[in-house]
Amino acid sequence: MTSVIHLAFDIPLAADICFQYFTEEHLIKSWLAEDAHIVPHEGGAYELYWNLEDRAVDNTKGCVITGYCLNRMLGFTWKGPQRFSHFMNHHDPLTHVSISFFSTTDKHTQVHLVHSGWPQREDWQEAKEWFEDTWKKAIENLILQITAKS
């Protein structure tokens, strides 16, 4: 049995622009990661890097896009940071993130993020709690950046 993280946010952008913040390397580097290699189609790479001095740690190298529907949905496999890598990054299957984009107005998008595949074990639950907090902070950072540009 596994559990999920489900978060919903209102992003003050049109759905097509909001989608780009998750699929275009230069945009994702502005709010989530230090570097990125994204090939935006099903089966393409979804690799983010948080430690440029040692790219072998704190990354999602090897993760792939599992679902891609332009401006509507993005799914990808996901790995954990170094502190959780000994169990998260070698688990089969990896955890999975699915993000859905629902246009609410011309300038607002409801974003639902579902991060699934969390076994009911203590170490995994600690990682899940960390990711729930980290995803919230990341999306809040994205919203702050967008509103600062407005």
* 40 occurs within a structural domain: no
Residue 130 pLDDT greater than 90, yes or no? yes
Higher pLDDT, 150 or 121: 121
In this structure, is residue 99 part of a structural domain? Answer: yes
31 lies in some domain: no
Structural domain includes residue 33: no
Give the model's pLDDT for residue 149: 81
Q: By CB neighbour count within 10 A (0-12 exposed, 13-18 middle, 19+ buried), where does 148 fall?
A: exposed
**CATH classification of the domain holding 120:** 3.30.530.20
| Residue 102 counted as domain residue | yes
pLDDT of residue 1 exceeding 90, the answer is no
- Whether 28 maps to a domain, the answer reads no
Q: What is the pLDDT of residues 24-77, one digit of tens each?
A: 999 999 999 999 999 999 999 999 999 999 999 999 999 999 999 999 999 999
Does 143 fall in a domain? yes
Q: Residue 32 falls within a domain, yes or no?
A: no
The larger pLDDT score, comparing residue 1 to residue 13, is at 13
User: Which range of residues forms the domain containing residue 98?
Assistant: 2-23+68-149
Tell me the pLDDT of the chain averaged across its residues: 97
State the total domains in the chain.
1
